[in-house]
A and B are shown apart, each in its own frame.
Chain A
């Protein structure tokens, strides 16, 4: 037996509810976060991720409350991302019961934030979330901001390499081209990042069929994250894990 490949349901939360849309537009309410988290835990999720897409600080307060309630009832690792700008935000979330936090735009604006978080809390709490899309950059993939709408001017492989050297412990690689399309993961992008990354890589964006998960893992993903296929009951976490185990991947059943 070796280290198991992880399946991670992601809950996009805003104002105390789970929402998920296509390409981050047309948000649809799909449930109570704590109830959903419990359901996924029961189905065998290896970790959970809350992505806070709140627009205001009042809504953000609600997210901390959700984290607190989820951590009371769920005994698998919980990652929280979205809107984290400084050490105080990190400390507050860890204190509320998060095990890891993911940073995105704030690290692009001020990369030193990665060093600060890693030095204080260790690299095991720090996930770099990369919203990537295909573009004519050096590697063919560029980093975007604003939910994939704006280019940051950074090449994905250059940014991932820098972030790891600054103390990031894991990469959450989200394909903005594939996100919400259910057309499968961007396997080339996963391969490219896996090749240069010394830390675990979570593939995200594009899950539509059960077999997509096996493809992402074959391409080198250490974990796979998905949202809507699980929320809308297309298939369960358990269905995915059974399929992967049948194909001979190392899976916790």
Chain B
């Protein structure tokens, strides 16, 4: 069973449908017990970093995610759901993240922001997430990103004005800056790769 953490963050309906292609049971919930026990937990996230952190706190998201990390259970962060896994972000004002991944989140240095649309990725050769879709494009919509390689993890990068981390795979912690649930067939394959690893 896959749980999508519901903490009042935008369009969760299409995320649920996209994961249902690969998994027979997908629930959108903020119930801590279900979120902790699920085979995989998806942490979505849109909007500002600080707002997402505040909303996460309001449903006990930090405890849910920490508990899963402790138990070595799969977590998949998407977009701002990836960013909150890092130590901090300077979006609007400095704000602490969950600190699960080392590094910080800062504005992408590009003349036109948000970085909006389909872009390619440069996955690590050992990547499980991108197996069979290394050459595909994925849908991005963000202005901030993590840029420093995370040591001990498989780092996937994308270029927009500068190089940034478009995905991270570190054991049971997986995250993408792009939206796989909005990335058509390539996104569906990426989700399938993750689901089959659970």
Contacts and interface: CB of A to CB of B under 8 A. Distances in A.
B46 A2 contact: no
Interface string B148-182: 00000000000110000000000000000001011
B158 to A, nearest CB: 9
Contacts of B112: 197-200, 222
Interface stretch (B66-74, B123-131, B135-143): B135-143
B18 interface: yes
Contacts of A96: 13
Contacts of B179: 77
B24 interface: no
B18 A75 contact: yes
A1 B120 contact: yes
A113 interface: no
A222 B188 contact: no
A151 B159 CA distance: 42
Contacts of A1: 119-120, 159
Contacts of A77: 139, 141, 179, 182
A2 B119 contact: yes
Given A122-B46, A125-B46, A76 B119 contact: no
Interface in A188-235: 197-200, 222-223
A124 B48 CA distance: 10
Interface in A1-24: 1-6
B111 A4 contact: no
A75 B13 contact: no
Contacts of A97: 11, 13-14
Interface in A127-169: 169
Given A1-B120, A97-B11, A124 B142 contact: yes
A186 interface: no
B184 interface: yes
Interface in B9-34: 10-11, 13-14, 17-18
Interface string A46-82: 1000000000000000000000100111011110000
B187 interface: yes
A121 B9 CA distance: 8
A93 B114 CA distance: 21
B89 interface: no
Contact of A99 (B11, B113, B119, B187): B11
Interface residues of A, number: 37
**Is the contact region of chain B dominated by helix, strand, or loop, or is it mixed?**
mixed
Contacts of B188: 75
Contact of A200 (B10, B114, B142, B181): B114
Contacts of A39: none
Contact of B14 (A6, A41, A71): A71
B116 interface: yes
Contact of A46 (B10, B51, B118, B120): B118
Contact of A75 (B137, B159, B187): B187
Contacts of B181: 75
B13 A122 contact: no
Contact of A71 (B13, B48, B113): B13
24 contacts: A3-B115, A4-B117, A4-B137, A46-B118, A68-B13, A71-B17, A72-B13, A73-B17, A75-B17, A75-B181, A75-B182, A75-B188, A76-B182, A76-B184, A78-B14, A97-B13, A99-B11, A121-B10, A124-B116, A124-B141, A198-B111, A198-B113, A222-B117, A252-B118
> Would you list the 9 A-B pairs with minimal beta carbon distance, nearest first?
A122-B47, A1-B120, A252-B118, A4-B118, A97-B13, A252-B137, A124-B141, A71-B14, A3-B119
Given A3-B115, A200-B114, 5 more contacts: A3-B160, A4-B137, A6-B118, A97-B13, A124-B46
